[in-house]
Structure 1
Amino acid sequence: MPPTGYCLPPWRRCIPGTASPYRAGLAQTALSAVAVAGFALAGRDPCTGMSTTILGLGTLGIVALQAVAALSALGIARRPGWGSPWRRPRESSALLG
């Protein structure tokens, strides 16, 4: 991801041998530690209190990604020169899953 520019500039630095963005990994680890510490300071068990919250947010994220993927497949099918998606059932079914 760093060579493509999806990471923010301070986190694009990679380990030369593996090309893994180690700064982004450290930032994610620190953010997770802060979240767990926040639940612990609030007196809630991080395992049981966070799991339901994170599972719910993760499910919403997956549904949102699936919706974006479906809309992008419809956008590809509507490109000029691609033809009607109803006249090309094989390509349309491959795009829509």
Structure 2
Amino acid sequence: TNTTKELTYSEAMYLCGYLNGAKKENRDLTITEREIRRRRSAVLKRVQRIGIDTTDWGAVNAFFLDVRIAGKKFRELDGEELLLLIPKLESILKKKEDGGY
């Protein structure tokens, strides 16, 4: 092709990705980052419902440093750990709503 007007849609999308530095590995990483961001958001939403001030990272980290919760700071949790925390936090929420926490 001599001009970009002659590109097919898929060729144009490939070119855009190439120009922006998006290789297949980068796209996979972005999807993983998006998934971790989604899991962090889900965990923080539940932590907020429990009553922890999620704008105070000291309070958030103190909560997660408890060995019964995670035993490490929030930023140190990987995607799998975040996923496993959701049922645990839901259980705490249920106990809190039932008056047992």
| Higher RCO (C-alpha under 8 Å, 6+ residues apart) | 2
Give the TM-score of the pair, scaled to structure 1.
0.35
